[in-house]
Homo-oligomer: A and B are copies of this chain.
Amino acid sequence: MASNSSQPADLDASKVIVTLATELKPVPSLADLASGGMSQAMTDHMVLASYDPVNGWSAPEIKPYGPFTLMPASSCFQYATNAFEGMKAYVGPDGEPRLFRPEKNMARLARSAGRVALPPFNPDELLKLIKQLVTIDKRWVPAAKGHSLYIRPMIIGTRSTLNLSISDSALLWVMCTPCGPYFRSVRPLSLFAATDAVRAWPGGTGEHKIATNYGPTLKHHQSAQAAGHDMNLWLLGDKITEAGVMNFFIVLRRDDGDLDVLTPPLDGTILPGITRASILSMATAHPSRMVLPGLSEETRLHSAERALTMPELEAWLVEGRVVEVFAVGTAVVVSPIGCIAWGEKNIVFPTFGNALGPVSKALRERILDIQEGRFEWEGWSVPCA
């Protein structure tokens, strides 16, 4: 797209060119989605826009999902100039799709893209395009509790040169796939603490949602699963950072009978999860601002961000203070953690059969109520239309 202005054009949702698929794909049934995780099926359409240093952002397109063409020397392959997001759409009680705190995903994507020096884009405009895409593909949003449409916005560097240099060209797209509950059934996860590998470190990239944080974890994930665990626990020294690709929480009984809901602080090694922030915020709100389902008003929760070490976990277990341990994330929402294999040790937490503990259950119920539009809370749930 040629431009006469001297400034490269920003992303502009009003310029969108919509080309609808002439043949629509079959949508997976709820039964198909019951097996856990995401579907392999992508929805009918995607958002696509490109950036070049002269013209800036192209007019965005919504078009049938399908392959695209890149030069082999593109920056994204050689130098991992790739950032992405994970977010979900839910069917509201009105039958219409809605998003959960999507402005947080947009802001994080902009920060992540900046970390790998990709060109900036207007996050508000991208959100408009995502809403339009979800509205067009709304028959793909499964209408059942705990089900959703997983949405992946991505931006990659497409500058084509072998020189190690900032990518002044980029491709941005949004693709979607329907998903059921992340795990086939709720059951406490078994984690394997990686002691020979670290996911993130001070001065690294752990707080950004960029491709570099994922590829190097795959072989450790495979080893953990081969040894009978569900995923890795990522440590930095003896400090807990993340559980798989989820944020880690522990609930401790205090001397005064109240409960502490603790998660590691955002020290640069931890993804600032939107579910994480929401869980902290909801725990703080109980019982004064809202009562969480199934939790007594007498149960006072104190949420806090603080470093958590493996020896502390062990000590708290010995003291009988651990109520429950769980992990949270966009894909999994909330999942109980049953044990951590750490070197020679197997650290076992209280569990509640194949169910969540009292606090995580209350938090999961409430966040699903908010996400699926049954409970209005601070504008977190945003209709697409």
Contacts and interface: CB of A to CB of B under 8 A. Distances in A.
Nearest to A173: B72
Tell me how many chains of this kind the complex includes.
Answer: 2
Nearest to A157: B215
Contacts of A77: 76, 82, 84, 154, 156, 211
A287 interface: no
A79 to B, nearest CB: 4
B162 A177 contact: yes
Given A37-B163, A202-B198, A222-B166, A214 B177 contact: no
A287 B221 CA distance: 50
Interface in A126-166: 150, 152, 154, 156-157, 161-166
Interface string A187-200: 00000001011100
A214 B164 contact: yes
Contacts of A40: 161
Interface string A30-55: 00000001101010001000000000
Contacts of A245: 164
Interface string A67-85: 1111111011111111010
A117 interface: yes
Interface residues of A, number: 62
A203 interface: yes
Nearest to A220: B117
A214 B80 contact: yes
B211 A80 contact: yes
Nearest to A234: B203
A279 interface: no
A218 B76 contact: no
A300 interface: no
A257 interface: no
A292 interface: no
A244 to B, nearest CB: 8
11 contacts: A38-B161, A76-B76, A78-B152, A115-B216, A115-B219, A150-B162, A152-B162, A164-B214, A198-B202, A201-B201, A212-B215
Given A78-B214, A82-B215, 13 more contacts: A67-B70, A67-B72, A72-B154, A73-B175, A76-B76, A77-B84, A78-B154, A79-B211, A79-B214, A80-B80, A80-B82, A162-B177, A194-B203
